[in-house]
Structure 1
Amino acid sequence: MILQLLLLIHTIQPFLVPICFVCAWAFMSAIAWSLWTAVRDGVETSKRLHQIPCSHCQYFTGDYRLKCTVQPSIASTEAAVNCLDYQPKTNPLLY
């Protein structure tokens, strides 16, 4: 049994270095691809969230208990991007 195992190891030994090389680069490529997709998805989410106009609306209170006096259920969410009740603040010092 041990002789067969030694024969198998000596047979595949010339192929181990190329196989390990390819596996290592495949692993590094998978990590790089994963990081790239995470950054790309994060940028897309950030762009979507920066379109929420609530903080510049006159009905936005800034209080965590009642964020908006008109539409409190959608305040500061993605559903508020096209809010029909949005009114810009008239006093620019309130930003």
Structure 2
Amino acid sequence: MKQVVTVVAPHLAEKVLIALQRAPLEGLSVFEVKGYGRQKSYLDQYQDSEYSEAFVPKVQITMWVDDSRLDHVLEKVVSVTRTGRIGDGKIMVMPVHSFL
């Protein structure tokens, strides 16, 4: 069993969830999170003044997947999230020692 944690831009989260609708998952959780990666922060315009946001809004999707189905699930996630631009997100895979 593996725990797969994906952190993606909010506009990609819905695409990931649609792609995973029929995926063989043991469980799934979705969280709104904030953070940053290589881009560190970004500048935005707000009422003619420039300001910096320390954290970028993201969506974290956590899944629990049987080892035999892991590659299939990862292919689905990557196929809808990879744009080649900074900020596409991250995928982390960790072992799960017990699942109740």
Tell me whether the two structures share a fold, i.e. TM-score over 0.5.
no
> Which TM-score bucket, shorter chain as reference?
under 0.3
TM-score after normalising by structure 1: 0.19
Structure (1/2) with the larger helix percentage: 1
TM-score, normalization by structure 2: 0.18
Report the structure, 1 or 2, having the larger strand content. 2
